[in-house]
Amino acid sequence: MQLRYSPTSPYVRKVMVTALETGLDKKIEKISTNPWDPETDLPKDNPIGKVPALKTDGGEVLFDSPVICEYLDAQQSGDKLFPASGDARWSVLKLQALADGILDAAVACVVEGKRPKELQSKDWIARQKNAIERSLDALEHSISKLDGGQLTIAQIAAGCALGYLDFRKPVDAWRKGRPKLAKWYEEFSKRPSMQATVPKDPV
């Protein structure tokens, strides 16, 4: 398998944590890709022009991160990260969507912050920050569904979202007023898969 990869993308991190947790990382060749490069050939694999995109051994290109993670989970025979059916499945998919939504809003803030000052919209950034704050509160209130039990894609998505907030800091002090989430993340981020994928800016 080949993964269109960027070292700072939190969505790519989700995929890599999933690959490490399922033992499939050795079967994935990473293709370094800058989705923002106007010359990139990424759209031939993913017309949306985003990483991650995974080319399977059968030649199919899969995107986006929830689809790729579920594909990897289907390729492995260990404990499943995606419950197959029932309430457990909807609960995990909903929490994954919540964590991915935090990422979408956080990435939107970061991208807006890179535009020339005079083009940046304070209202747009405030809207994204509010979405992050509300979604963090929702994660804090859902902590019983994240904490303990078998590893799920909801935990991986939440861990990568919180890691991205620490990395790019689109909001101040996300831990403040969310002690359960902060404690959960402190433990979760010690997993070898999380430690091996800590984002770093290229030097």
Ligand X SMILES: N[C@@H](CCC(=O)N[C@@H](CS)C(=O)NCC(=O)O)C(=O)O
Which stretches of the chain bind ligand X, using CB under 6 A?
Answer: 9, 11, 35, 49-52, 64-65, 100, 107
Nearer to ligand X, 177 or 198 (CB): 198
Closest distance between ligand X and the C-beta of residue 26, in Å? 22
Nearer to ligand X, 12 or 139 (CB): 12
Looking at residue 172, the DSSP 8-state letter turns out to be: S
How many Å from the N-terminal Cα to the C-terminal Cα in the chain?
A: 28
Nearer to ligand X, 178 or 193 (CB): 193
CB of 193 closer than 8 Å to CB of 21: yes
Bridge partner residues of 2 (DSSP): 29, 55
Nearer to ligand X, 107 or 131 (CB): 107
Containing H/E element for 91? Answer: helix 86-113
Counts of helices then strands in the chain (DSSP H, E): 9, 4
CB of 151 closer than 8 Å to CB of 79: yes
Cα–Cα dist 4/192, whole Å = 22
Closest distance between ligand X and the C-beta of residue 105, in Å? 11
Closest distance between ligand X and the C-beta of residue 19, in Å? 14
User: From the CB of residue 96, how many other CB atoms can be counted at a distance below 10 Å?
Assistant: 25
Closest distance between ligand X and the C-beta of residue 2, in Å? 16
Nearer to ligand X, 52 or 159 (CB): 52
Bridge partner residues of 61 (DSSP): 55
Closest distance between ligand X and the C-beta of residue 17, in Å? 13
